Structure 1
């Protein structure tokens, strides 16, 4: 439900955080051109790991942002860059973050390879802290080849309830799922001996994301062209991370009175609460440069049957929501 519009400018500052006496986050949630945001919760902080949205030759580093309440955000500059990843020379984007064994693993795409013979693909940074700095985990791409027609980009790392980690990824209209080994140095085969299973649903373009709710697997992805007005997020549901996934419908798209090109999202669940947020990028009204994308947050809700209700994109953003600390 919308409230009276609160116009709030979010200022970023170095530690300590600057406190804001405002009721909502406002959209965008922080200043700057940032896209493909990956939201996460670590301890008593919300985190967002976005792509620095710029031409590929300039897109050579990543920043991160943390917040205790979704309203006040602190910027962590250059948590990783191409200087730390010898094989990456351009176009680092679409981060995905996972915590494992007191380490933080930041998966990313780099170099935008167009064929197997090129150097690039999906890599991993590792750090002792979510805010970095991250060093190259492998010294080479984790995945640098095409399988089932899927360009090795836009990876999402999903931990299932049994502790198994999966990587879901792909561009060029194809999506694969693969099982990561325990130390994230490679992959394990499925029971049938295959390593990369295609799970592409109707309409899939890029931007995979998966989460579970009430024993259902929700698979989400972006459709349309990332630089155009038809960019949007659709989803499917299944009883297994392997699907099959049959497209249900669109849950996030532009509103020509608010912003355009809404897509490439992630989802944050507030621990121990039935509160869900969708974190995504969009283009401010009047912007025509494809790289002029900003990060926004809005509420995501479900109907009584578990289907995701269409998201209303707003200028207000979301209300202040602090995380409960473990006692």
Structure 2
């Protein structure tokens, strides 16, 4: 899949089969549309194109609302779309000027002149252009003039899936990663860099990797303990450094480990900040500076305050046993 960070990078195609949307989560409902897109492109000897937006339009239209968090970062979204067989992904910077285009200008300048759209697959409720005044009928009318066809994803087809990004966000915030994963069709994940912590976990026999997530818009699940798998480069080597920060290679292969993740403010030690930590089983390497991926599989328990480190240690051992029981299945 080819990725373009701006429409100006894209070279007009002879036969572009297009769909448009934010596709946060790329859940089962989205996948239905995207699979239809890919199949149509193959059947018509065309090329599949997804036009998506970053930042999310609601972040620009309603900047005061800081509550909206994304299921996927833009890189995570691209990785999933690549697996689904999409040919081209155009990531358009979303601005107020962009949102204020007249629907007719949007269609001519972007869909026709820039992309070369010959067929567009769109949801029944898709809106675009100034004041969201563009809709399916506007597209169909323009299609007869510019020579492209419009295929509607019917309301019933979408509702049959009974999936929405909002439902997934709600499930994740409640810690219900199993329900979220059912909706997504794949495990929800967090990608971040291992940073130095205060190493309290080492003193009680449960060393953890502290994860820093750079994208502040990334949704983090509700506080608690989770069974996870951890993916990291098997070629990572730590070289001595005063800073202790190292860059992981981006090349494969990857190695996957089992572990248990913690999200919370560490109330037992009166923590002041929300942490993301993972205890990786059967693992004893120093990995400061490495980028790792955590796949969330099962919620084990809520975060609670214990009487001290001894009580916390007893509970962590129970958590580990519960996690191992989950993986042994």
Q: TM-score of the superposition, structure 1-length normalised?
A: 0.26
Q: Specify which structure has the higher proportion of strand.
A: 1
Q: TM-score of the superposition, structure 2-length normalised?
A: 0.26
